[in-house]
Chains A and B, each alone.
Chain A
Amino acid sequence: MNTSSKLAGTVNVLVPVGSLGVGIQPEEMKRGVAAGAHVIAVDAGSTDSGPYPLATGISKHSREAIKHDLAIAMATQAEAGIPLLVGSCAMSGNDMAVAWTRDIVIEIAAEMGISPRVALLYSEQDPAVLKRKNAEGRIRPLAPSGPLEDKTIDACKHVVAVMGPEPYIAALEAGAEIILGGRTTDTAVLAALPILRGAPLGPAWHASKIAECGSLCTVNPTDGKGVLIRIGADSFTIEPLAESNCCDVHSISAHMLYENANPFRLTEPGGVLDVTQAVYEAIDRRTVRVTGSRWEPMPYTMKLEGAGADQYQTLMLVGIEDPEVLANLDLFHDRILAQLYERVRQTMGEAAGNFNISLRFYGWNAVSGRSLPKGTPFPREVGLLFVATAATQAIATQIAKSCNSHLFHFPIKRGIEVPSYAFPFSPAEVERGPVYKFLLNHVVEIDDPLELVRTEWVDFSANKGAR
């Protein structure tokens, strides 16, 4: 395959960065457009950071970081006249997250004096719809979770259905120049235009999986941010956008491992990507070609993600350098923990409700929470993190306050002068806020990929950049 045939018969996707907000490079955008990109596609979300973004609608990234990247992407979109697709807006892709991103796009458009045709794809779900689907037996659990109960739906602050490429394809067919998507699989946002243009499904999905983290699939992931994929009749190629960087067979084939439970098969809405038979070959110094990627159609499902919070935490941190305590940390842990529970029951009684105290010795075994083998050298100091969890923030803080003097003065043995450990803060306690948690690990079976998605359009004539 020579360079001209690559350009002639392929659909080319410019992936500027692995996660919107990490820092799109203008010169890489220029290089991608010059290389014949037909679309700019970027993922903006993930569950990797934990349940907080979904439960609150708040992005992990700053507004400024998102605006910086969107401004570069929108300028390229306007100049090159190719669509810009953003998936999983503001991390969670819930309705608040899409609206937050929409407002940034409106602001940038006003500053640039442009009025692109912008489609908004919302995929947050109404609890009543989910309960109906559940009653119809169309929601099923993924391992290791069990069947969905309605009370779990009620415990979620937000539930999103994870979109495939179909809503993006429909918006492109309706003339969208910019698409801001709610929660979407990382791959689907990249695969949408190639699938619309008739690219084979195996290579389209596989290329999108490899490219979804931007330069992470390259030999030197910190050299540049983006990659370009070209999907042809029976294969695809991938190369970094940074001229000095390269892809090789190992960097590309190893990327199927990343954050994937299964390195050979990836379930997507409407099918499974199977790369068991894929063959990887370097076609020049910086480009890898992949053949043999297969797509197996399956009944259409959308994954559901839900998060909520029904508990609160208050923390205390205390430093300990006392050598005798450090020589007996596990004993100290067990004794003080028992004392703290006793103390809370005595002082607060029933008012403490259903609570938990967790003590974690940073510098000893806080990360694993496991006992260490006998003979492990004692640390020079530890940070003891006290974590109280309760039904309300006020109760969690009252528990912490009740435990304050014990945490401060608890002796390792009887008959010694009362020790004082090292609090760094006054007050000692820190209110951490709600304990967010993921609550859903299920899929919903649907007949029409657009059934659970709502598409809206931004009307610039009404807003005139005034927002």
Chain B
Amino acid sequence: MAKLRDVCLDIRSKNAGPYWITVDLFFDSPETYRKYRDNPAIGPAAFGALYEVDPAMIKHFPVDSLNMIKISYPRATAQGGMLERDMHGGQQYVRLLDVEMDGNESGSDTRDSLAASRAGSNEHS
């Protein structure tokens, strides 16, 4: 069972303006990229569940020439503010590292892999 961290050379996240975070997934070869490009484990539904974002708001861009996928999502609140924990969004990629990439290529069973990597927030407001 390959995890996302096993099939990527680099996974990073960063602020893209004060209202968005962007995540870059650089796959380790053209073959790996093609194999996982359309994998539902990193599709909008699964990604939205992992980041607690409406899937309709998620921007998903496969970039064939670079064997990478860019995924951008809106922050729950603008950068800064009372409950900010990661001003530049630079650590937001970490929850993606252990997403299971195999066994779901048919798209039939994304929920289990999500449940394994998903956990509730303990933020108090």
* Residue A47 is within 8 A (CB to CB) of chain B in the complex: yes
Q: Is the CB of B82 within 8 A of A435?
A: yes
Q: Is the CB of B78 within 8 A of A438?
A: yes
Q: Is the CB of A257 within 8 A of B70?
A: yes
Within 8 A of B (CB), among A410-467: 435-439, 441
* Residue A377 is within 8 A (CB to CB) of chain B in the complex: no
Q: How many A-B residue pairs lie within 8 Å, measured between CB atoms?
A: 122
Within 8 A of A (CB), among B81-125: 81-88, 91, 94-95, 116, 119-125
Q: Per a CB cutoff under 8 Å, which of B80, B119, B120, B125 touches A50?
A: B80
* Residue A94 is within 8 A (CB to CB) of chain B in the complex: no
Q: Per a CB cutoff under 8 Å, which of B22, B68, B88, B94 touches A261?
A: B22
Q: Is the CB of B86 within 8 A of A367?
A: yes
The count of residues in chain A whose C-beta lies closer than 8 Å to any C-beta of chain B is: 49
Contact stretch, chosen from A20-28, A75-83, A138-146, A189-197: A138-146
Size band of the interface chain B makes with A: 35 or more
CB distance from A299 to the nearest CB of B (A): 21
Q: Is the CB of A358 within 8 A of B15?
A: no
Q: Is the CB of B85 within 8 A of A367?
A: yes
CB distance from B84 to the nearest CB of A (A): 8
0 or 1 for each of A251-274: is its CB under 8 Å from B? (1 = yes):
001100111111110000000000
Q: Is the CB of B72 within 8 A of A360?
A: no
28 pairs, CB–CB < 8 Å, chain A vs chain B: A51-B78, A52-B80, A142-B19, A254-B68, A257-B22, A257-B24, A257-B63, A257-B66, A258-B14, A259-B14, A261-B16, A261-B22, A261-B72, A262-B70, A263-B61, A334-B122, A356-B124, A357-B124, A358-B82, A358-B123, A369-B85, A369-B122, A370-B121, A436-B80, A437-B78, A437-B82, A438-B78, A438-B81
Q: Which residues of B contact A (CB under 8 A)?
A: 14-20, 22, 24, 57, 59, 61, 63, 65-66, 68, 70, 72, 74, 78-88, 91, 94-95, 116, 119-125
